[in-house]
Amino acid sequence: MPGFVGHTIANTAVLAGTTFVMRSQGWSWQDVIAVDAGIAIASLVLSPDMDLFNSKSMKGWGWLRVFWWPYSKLAKHRDRLHIPILGTAVRWLYVATLLFLLLVLFRFWFRRIGLSVDFDFAGDTDDIIYNALYLVDVFLGAVLADTTHYVLDIISTKLKRLVPRRLRDRYDRYAQNHYDREHRPPRGRAWISEEGQR
């Protein structure tokens, strides 16, 4: 229940903390920025809440979220793909696959209209390994952000259980009313269950 704002605040704190710790341990700015980029991407565009088609993280994608429809169908909200590292890897591979397919499509299209574009990224092997290390930094940042998200989800659920049932029900009714007013269900589809909202 921390919601998008709660998760964003927590991950911003993680970003600031990571920057501070890494710098004080003498890491280069390049490494720090790569890790920070991973945290930012995982918080804003590749959040674990991408398994919920109506989530705020999803809305940020605008019409592009059609690409995420299969993912949100395959992954149940707060199921296995909410777990850090596993979920992180699956989401990043999902995007990599999409980008690869787009690249193949464009290549095919360019060839049809007779345009010759050199898509070969082949460089020095050393260069490739050197740059791949930055990708490791980015991924580690993303894992850090996803772990924070996961822990916050669990803590907030535990805290919620401590609240007396009567108050909880009242809040749930309030939240559902708000949701019903603010959102319209997609055509031919039922509301997502209360459980799914958390």
DSSP-assigned states of every residue in 127-177: HHHHHHHHHHHHHHHHHHHHHHHHHHHHHHHHHHHHS-HHHHHHHHHHHHH
Choose one: 14-22, 65-73, 106-114, 151-159; the region binding Zn ion (CB under 5 A).
Answer: 151-159
Residues contacting residue 153 through CB under 8 Å, at least 6 positions apart: 2, 48, 78, 82, 198
Q: What is the smallest separation between the CB atom of 51 and Zn ion, expressed in angstroms?
A: 8
Q: What is the smallest separation between the CB atom of 101 and Zn ion, expressed in angstroms?
A: 27
Query: CA separation (Å) from 70 to 106, 132, 138, 143?
Result: 22, 28, 25, 22
Query: Is 137 or 153 the residue whose CB approaches Zn ion more closely?
Result: 153
CB-closest chain residue to Zn ion? 153
Position 51 contacts Zn ion (CB under 5 A) = no
Structure tokens at 85: 């590292």
Site residues (CB under 5 A) for Zn ion, limited to 56-115: none
Position 153 contacts Zn ion (CB under 5 A) = yes
User: With CB under 5 A, what is the number of residues at the site for Zn ion?
Assistant: 3
Position 137 contacts Zn ion (CB under 5 A) = no
* H-assigned helices in 45-124: 56-59, 69-74, 86-112
Query: Is 18 or 148 the residue whose CB approaches Zn ion more closely?
Result: 148
Structure tokens at 56: 């705020």
Q: What is the smallest separation between the CB atom of 67 and Zn ion, expressed in angstroms?
A: 20
DSSP-assigned states of every residue in 3-35: HHHHHHHHHHHHHHHHHHHHHHTT--HHHHHHH
Query: Is 7 or 137 the residue whose CB approaches Zn ion more closely?
Result: 7
Query: Is 82 or 141 the residue whose CB approaches Zn ion more closely?
Result: 82
Choose one: 9-17, 43-51, 88-96, 103-111; the region binding Zn ion (CB under 5 A).
Answer: 43-51
Query: Is 48 or 141 the residue whose CB approaches Zn ion more closely?
Result: 48
Q: What is the smallest separation between the CB atom of 166 and Zn ion, expressed in angstroms?
A: 26
Residue 188 to residue 198: CA distance in whole angstroms = 23
Q: What is the contact surface with Zn ion in residues (CB under 5 A)?
A: 48-49, 153
